[in-house]
Structure 1
Amino acid sequence: MGRTQSVRAVNRSWTAALSAAAVTVGLSVAMATSVEADGHGGPCGQSAGGGSGSPGSLGSLGSTANSGSTGSLIGSLGSGSLGSATGSLANSLPWIIGSPDGALPVLTGRTKAIEMVTGPGSPNKSIEKYGVSGTDLGIMWDNGQGQVLMAFGDTFGDCDDPPTQWRSNVLFRSSDETLRDGMRIDSSPLAPPPPENYSKQIIDGLLDLPLGSFEFTVLPTAGVAVYEEDRDRWVQYVRFMSVREWGAPGEWTTNYSAVARSDDNGETWDVVVPTVRVNLDPMDPAFPDGIVPPAFSSNNGNWQMSAFVPGGDGYVYEFGTTSGRNGAARLARVPANPADLEDLNEYQYWTGTVWSPNIADAEPVIEEPVSELSVQWNDYLGKYIAMYTDVGGLKIRLADHPEGPWSGTQTLISPDTLPSLYGGFMHPWATGQYLYFVLTTWDRYNVIYMRTDLSKLDKMSPADQVDRPDPAKTGEQKLLRFDIPEDLPEEK
């Protein structure tokens, strides 16, 4: 039985241990190396120059004006701090190379961009309402109460504010049931003014140290709602990862992953310490107030990023991948109630033939490389869909059961079409012919609302292991242009 604890600092003996060498895994995903013709740079107008920055350095970042924002990001980068204990931007986002100007890609083929969820050009007015001018990810789940919750990663606001209003993560809520014309946002957990209309960081990490010495950022990777029968309420859970160090594009090292819990529909969150999966060894497990995380396992590295799937059979399924973009996906299940989900001893792992209580027995169910995985049941296809990115773009696979077997891949968006894409996450209410999802691109650093026509997809048997051709190479998919915000269709 796990217990929830909000931990804001950690014993120095643990932080000293974290300075030990860690295994870095990853694969460089194709990313754009130059900005669009508008010449804009990163979220607050920095120039992209000739390529990505490296950890602990500014790379080739310069400073230019962007979309009316006169502030420069460089001052805060150079200071080594964003004014937050969870990170410094120079180490948090080394690969951003574009500006959040809201430009919407216009594609041919079965997959279309509908609108911007966040940033300039978004009908949600995320800048004015929530102080969100640049962000990524947008992991979605049904909260059990008629809303979809949407968790984002590193987030920027006012570029004229010296620390650029950076937050590790924020959350939006939506009750919009009409998926075809976009996604309207109802609300977001807000910080007390000043400033007003400012989405607060919802989840803090465990290593709350000056300048983010060991924890540059804490990023959500999965979300799920679980019904708590004895208290007649829905509990929200987010699995997040603690990023210790960024490497080359597609590579990063984590301190740990953990689950955070919210009993008030995402307004406040507590880290559930017994769910911590420590990723570094040697480990001195000394926490404040005598709270000790689960024992270190060398297999924890396979569970630093997740995808939750409510199974409908009394279990929540959790797919696990490594930090970075080079690992395979493994599968666990846990009874769908808070007491069990918060206790790693109650998890079972798929061995390829049976369920085992031993994490070391978990075998891959989706072959590497898999990153930023999203999995859900699809009624139109009558199969589970796994969506993720790799060097070949945004891919999906199909299966009859979470444990597989999983089919070969089909490419929804080619890296030849959008070379800076990553992080495809499906809308949990998507039914019928069209699959709705969100996607981020580094060169815009905002979240795009997308759809793909499943009637034009191969209804592959899980036994069919033949990867389908890249639509850009067959000529089906082309990037025609980017529509600037002024040209975007009006809200219907």
Structure 2
Amino acid sequence: MMRRTKAKSTFSAAAAVLLIVMAAAGCTSGEKSNKVLDEGGKSFILKGITDLQQVSQITGADSPNKTDQYAVYGTDLGSMFNAGDKTYFVFGDTFGERAADQIGGGGSFWRSNTIGYTTDKDPSDGIKLDGMIADDTGLAAELLPSAKVDFDEMTKIPTYGLAANGAMYLYYMSVNHWGDPGKWDANYSSVAKSTDNGQNWQLLDQLKWPGGSNFIQVSPYKVQTDKDHAEIYFWCIPSGRFGGVQLMKVDESNIENFADYRYYAGKDADGAPIWSTKLEEAKTVVDDTVGELSVVWNSYLNRWLMTYLKEGEGVVIREGLAPWGPWGDPIDLVTASEQPGLYGPFMNERYTENDGKTIYFTLSLWDPYNVFWFKASLQK
């Protein structure tokens, strides 16, 4: 992400199969009883965070991956999604040449987005990238081209990816203009699709959310509701870092059909979630100033975990009893005093240790404008 200023396990087998279906009757809303969807009988148990540690650097010339070999000297974000045995790291504005003392986004050979990938299942010593999706010269390719014109389309930033229906999808935002710190304007958010392992991407223009909506930046998670059926939940925020979280979902099989997306609109008289076809009826599930959010199911707590940046304060973590909440109070994960210029805390269920007690996550630092690998332990 190019802005002028930002304040910014070993492989867990349990996490890999965490969405075990629990057979029971469906609720009036169509939800099925499933431990990741049922908030009944749960209470908040996350007490705090210990053992925060920067493990390694993922990108940049100073990283073990030496990504300058792909003309990735500076980049940010690093949200992750899994497809088969690979994990894909999705980066934002990427630069191939920069002054040694440069802070923040900028430089030459600008690409709006790039992707690295790995089969590394052991996060304890950092992430070893197997490579990056590259052009014919071996340099990291821009996957979703942008106009690069301010107040038109400054850039296209992928906010998260996922694998579904045998394909790969990138949800992205078209940025019109970078404004004051933590603020920017979006033209719209949309989706791109790849059927060749990320080498080429098709823009799905039938999927577009308005630039002024609460559905510009998303964090998706697939929930297997039965043997043959999965739903994808999306926690969503507006452009910038000062809005709250709303929730939408879609059946995996209908992911490319805009009319099939449903928006969480509160609960009915029986306490079951209501799903509306109208995005303007969506209710806020987390009321905070939320930037670059990430949501996963955690097998240690048997709760949802959400991480995000609170602009000017640092990165926080919250537990959720169901996708729509209730969500616990924010707990400091990494403070701005510990890591100045931090943002983009992204988790992945593939990377935990100790049955999910230890979580790993990416974190972007505005200086030196690269992506780092962190870990922390959850305390019940």
- Does the TM-score normalized on the shorter chain lie above 0.5? yes
1:214 is aligned to: 152
1:146 to 76, 85, 107: 85
User: Which amino acid letter does the alignment assign opposite residue 140 of structure 2?
Assistant: S
1:199 to 140, 146, 157: 140
Q: Distance in 2 between matches of 1:240 and 1:259?
A: 6
Instruction: Provide the secondary structure at the position in 2 that maps to 1:345.
Output: helix
1:329 is aligned to: 245
Equivalent residues in 2 for 1:190-339 (5 A)? Answer: 190-193=134-137, 197-205=138-146, 208=147, 211=149, 214-227=152-165, 234-279=166-211, 301-313=213-225, 314-337=230-253
The answer to whether the 8 Å contact 1:142/1:428 transfers is no
1:428: Cα distance to partner?
Answer: 3.1
The answer to whether the 8 Å contact 2:359/2:375 transfers is yes
- Matched residues, percent identical? 33
The TM-score normalised by the length of structure 2 is 0.80
User: Which amino acid letter does the alignment assign opposite residue 238 of structure 1?
Assistant: L
Q: Distance in 2 between matches of 1:251 and 1:175?
A: 35
Instruction: Provide the secondary structure at the position in 2 that maps to 1:365.
Output: strand
Instruction: From the two aligned structures, give the one with the greater helix fraction.
Output: 1
Instruction: Provide the secondary structure at the position in 1 that maps to 2:89.
Output: strand
Equivalent residues in 2 for 1:42-121 (5 A)? Answer: 92-95=2-5, 110-121=51-62
1:425 has 2:341 as partner: no
The answer to whether the 8 Å contact 1:96/1:445 transfers is no
Instruction: Provide the secondary structure at the position in 2 that maps to 1:273.
Output: strand
Q: Distance in 1 between matches of 2:184 and 2:172?
A: 14
For structure 2, the residue ranges without an aligned partner over 5 or more in a row are: 8-48, 100-105, 268-273
1:96: Cα distance to partner?
Answer: 7.0
2:375 to 451, 473, 476: 451
The answer to whether the 8 Å contact 2:236/2:245 transfers is yes
1:164 has 2:82 as partner: no
Q: Distance in 2 between matches of 1:360 and 1:109?
A: 40
User: Which amino acid letter does the alignment assign opposite residue 339 of structure 2?
Assistant: L
For structure 1, the residue ranges without an aligned partner over 5 or more in a row are: 1-88, 98-107, 228-233, 280-299, 460-492
User: Which amino acid letter does the alignment assign opposite residue 214 of structure 2?
Assistant: N
The answer to whether the 8 Å contact 2:117/2:129 transfers is yes
1:265: Cα distance to partner?
Answer: 1.2
1:401: Cα distance to partner?
Answer: 1.4
1:355: Cα distance to partner?
Answer: 1.2
1:395 is aligned to: 316
1:358: Cα distance to partner?
Answer: 1.5
1:411 is aligned to: 332
**In the TM superposition, what whole-angstrom CA distance separates every residue of 1:335-357 from its partner, at most 9, and x where no partner exists?**
012xx111111011111211111
Q: Distance in 2 between matches of 1:361 and 1:213?
A: 29
Change (3 A) 1:96 1:155: farther
Q: Distance in 2 between matches of 1:430 and 1:271?
A: 30
1:386 is aligned to: 306
Instruction: Provide the secondary structure at the position in 2 that maps to 1:180.
Output: coil
Instruction: Provide the secondary structure at the position in 2 that maps to 1:360.
Output: helix
Q: Distance in 2 between matches of 1:221 and 1:93?
A: 16
Query: Which protein shows a greater Rg?
Result: 1
> How many residues were matched structurally?
320
**In the TM superposition, what whole-angstrom CA distance separates every residue of 1:91-138 from its partner, at most 9, and x where no partner exists?**
x432279xxxxxxxxxx952100010001321111112x111100000
1:244: Cα distance to partner?
Answer: 0.6
User: Which amino acid letter does the alignment assign opposite residue 328 of structure 1?
Assistant: G
2:43 is aligned to: none
2:130 is aligned to: 186
1:45 is aligned to: none
Q: Distance in 1 between matches of 2:304 and 2:214?
A: 22
1:347 to 252, 258, 261: 261
1:213: Cα distance to partner?
Answer: 5.5
User: Which amino acid letter does the alignment assign opposite residue 197 of structure 2?
Assistant: N
The TM-score normalised by the length of structure 1 is 0.62
Change (3 A) 1:172 1:263: same
Instruction: Provide the secondary structure at the position in 2 that maps to 1:202.
Output: coil
Q: Over aligned residue pairs, what C-alpha RMSD do you find?
A: 2.1
1:371 is aligned to: 291
Instruction: Provide the secondary structure at the position in 1 that maps to 2:213.
Output: helix
2:73 to 116, 120, 133: 133
Change (3 A) 1:384 1:304: same
**In the TM superposition, what whole-angstrom CA distance separates every residue of 1:292-339 from its partner, at most 9, and x where no partner exists?**
xxxxxxxx52111111111222100011101011000000010012xx
The answer to whether the 8 Å contact 1:179/1:430 transfers is yes
Q: Distance in 2 between matches of 1:434 and 1:157?
A: 34
The answer to whether the 8 Å contact 1:96/1:443 transfers is no
The answer to whether the 8 Å contact 1:137/1:440 transfers is yes
Q: Post-superposition, which runs of at least 4 consecutive aligned residues in structure 1 deviate over 3 A?
A: none
1:436 is aligned to: 360
